[in-house]
Amino acid sequence: MRLVFATHNKNKLKEVKALLPSYIEVLSLTDIGCNEDIPETADTIEGNAMLKANYVRDTYKLNCFADDTGLEVRSLNGEPGVYSARYAGEDKDSEANMQKLLQNLENKEDRSARFKTAIALTLNNSEILFLGICEGQITTEKKGTGGFGYDPIFKPDGCEETFAEMKLTQKSEIGHRGKAMRQLIEYLSE
């Protein structure tokens, strides 16, 4: 089976390829010659995932899955949410995003947050959505060098380490993307 994963993000691609069985060949947007940024104009994480999957299906006539992930912080009314990648500006600077979030949480006692990943699959004429959620806390300082995005400041509930301090296998086991991916894999295996 051949599926496009609607991403240019090499870190996401690496995480996803590590999870999928070998009989599923995964192609990135770069692999299919899609060099444009697919517009993410929905007001929900689920809507953005579906927009990307539909764009690839409609434009390239290929089966596709696309994800969108957001970090939702309770004391900030769900911010950054759907704007997680662009929280500090359009250039998608992870360092600036983390700094802005830490500043916005400076005087907040409640640092609870959750990562949510939505994966939209367009397969033949079907559209299916899978959700993965990981509850946790925003730390007061960055820890770890692995992962990407907000990983250095997100500590999952029940863990002593941030995502950035974990091995990829551990992060995939408990993380939001891993949870959504396992649902996708189970569906594709039926």
Q: What is the set of active-site residues?
A: 68
Q: What is the longest distance spanned by two Cα atoms in the chain?
A: 50
Q: What is the DSSP string of 14-81?
A: HHHHHHS-TTSEEEETTTTT--SPPP---SSHHHHHHHHHHHHHHHH---EEEEEEEEEEGGGTT-EE
CB 64 within 8 A of CB 56: yes
CB 125 within 8 A of CB 117: no
Single-letter residue type at 131: L
First to last CA, the chain: 13
Closest CA to 17 of 157, 188, 172: 172
Closest CA to 115 of 69, 158, 74: 69
